[in-house]
Amino acid sequence: MSILSILEPASTTTTRPTVARLVTGSIPATVGSDLLVPLADGRVTDYANFDHGASAPCLESVRASVEAALPSYASVHRGNGYASRITTQWYERAREEVHAFVGARKDDQVIFTRQTTDALNLLSRALPADATVIVFESEHHAALLPWPAERTVRLKAPTSQTDAVTSVADALRQAPEGPRLVVITGASNVTGEIFPIAEIAKVAKAHGARVCLDAAQLAPHRPVDISTLDVDWVALSGHKLYAPYGAGALIGRSDWLDAADPYLYGGGATHAVTEDTVVWTTGPARHEGGSPNVIGAIALASACAAISKHRDAIEQHERSLLARLRTGLAQIDNVTTYSIFGEDADRVGTVCFTIAGLTSTLVSAALSAEYGVGVRDGKFCAHPLVGHLLADSPEHGTAVRASLGLGTTREHVDRLVNAVRTLATSGPRAEYAETAHGCQPSDDPRDLQAPRIW
């Protein structure tokens, strides 16, 4: 079966069920919700997407916004032509939408970036020369690695929310005088657990420190409010917010950003250029050199608007599915789930688990080939945290992550739980071999080559 044939209407051999969404008509629809995928036994089934934590599918409303913007797409800010003026308005209104989405203060900047990693690297470049950074080693690499090593204090993964707050307080008391920045994740990309953001921010402010919140995993699932949380910056990604068009944002205070050299030297970042001097502009344009990703910004704003409108229904949908998933996995022998703060901690829709006797790569391959379930396996760009969580599981160096979202249904959850139960009890049905891309059934009839779509 070719990849192209999967995109055609379902044949009589499909196992696609007719199951309504949990909150029918109340949550935003996603592109690809009718995607069919081949199984190793020759059948096809609808795709059960449990990889939202890596990249979420596009919202239908986001695709519609992008299609509406394309006919008049033009370069922004410096053109008087009709298309340029219209596109400039959309770009700046996108900035306003993102500003409102995170409850930013009136004078906070919204700088469009490529994604969270880019946003945090931008902030790292803007740090005062004598700034000290405090960060937990449980962070995603995007929040762990950008800071100057000689001025960064890495804290051990906390054992509880109280421990997290206490560790930050102790580190701040011992930190040198001068500017200090605490970097904190909103929700762990490994376990989904929510960190005590407001409590850590309160401690930081008591010691004169600033706070940067990595909201990549939190913003798609729960409200983020800069003013209420009292953080100084928020970084997020469009591709995790159902807007996979290459844009993210850094939102927050302007002083360090306006004092720093531009992130990209070039057009748009300049106020005046002579033979001898360059005067850089201030504000978001200072760090948005070159032609910006206008379509990405429009897509991100469209996603923010849709999520804000449907926030209650989204939370209801995800909480119910997560409870169903966690309850199901907890009832299976030889399956271990992992947490930072304990099983009762509040979390978004992510579960990290292993199956005794099976590698995570084999589990993810079997879930895909035999059940049409997509999960992530490995260390999830959070190697220190995964090493900490799996310290008592010497047979496992990596784990499986199931992350649900708007593309997930009850049937998908039940299919994943039943598949894990079968794997834990009987193992995979097929024989698997290691390949350059991981594991694959040794006798795999699926055509996994992706033809050009252009």
Which residues are part of the catalytic machinery?
381
* Cα distance between residue 321 and residue 342, in whole Å: 19
Residues 412, 49 contacting (CB under 8 angstroms): yes
Alpha helix (H) residue ranges in 265-409: 294-309, 311-330, 360-371, 383-389
User: 3-class SS at 91?
Assistant: helix
| Location of structure tokens 């594991």 | 439
* Cα distance between residue 388 and residue 381, in whole Å: 14
DSSP code for 70: G
Phi and psi for 320 in degrees, rounded to 5? -65, -45
| Location of structure tokens 């376990």 | 191
Task: Please classify residue 454 by burial: count the beta carbons closer than 10 Å to its beta carbon, then call 0-12 exposed, 13-18 middle and 19+ buried.
Answer: exposed
User: 3-class SS at 335?
Assistant: strand
CA 264 from centre of chain: 24
* Cα distance between residue 291 and residue 74, in whole Å: 10
Residues 388, 339 contacting (CB under 8 angstroms): no
E strand or H helix that includes residue 119: helix 116-125
Residues 155, 103 contacting (CB under 8 angstroms): no
* Cα distance between residue 179 and residue 181, in whole Å: 7
| Location of structure tokens 């008049």 | 72
Phi and psi for 203 in degrees, rounded to 5? -65, -40
Q: Smallest Cα–Cα separation from 405: which of 310, 321, 325? A: 321
* Cα distance between residue 121 and residue 143, in whole Å: 9
Q: How far apart are the first and last CA of the chain?
A: 20
Please report the DSSP string for 360-392 in residue order: HHHHHHHHHHHH-EE-EEE-TT-HHHHHHHTTT
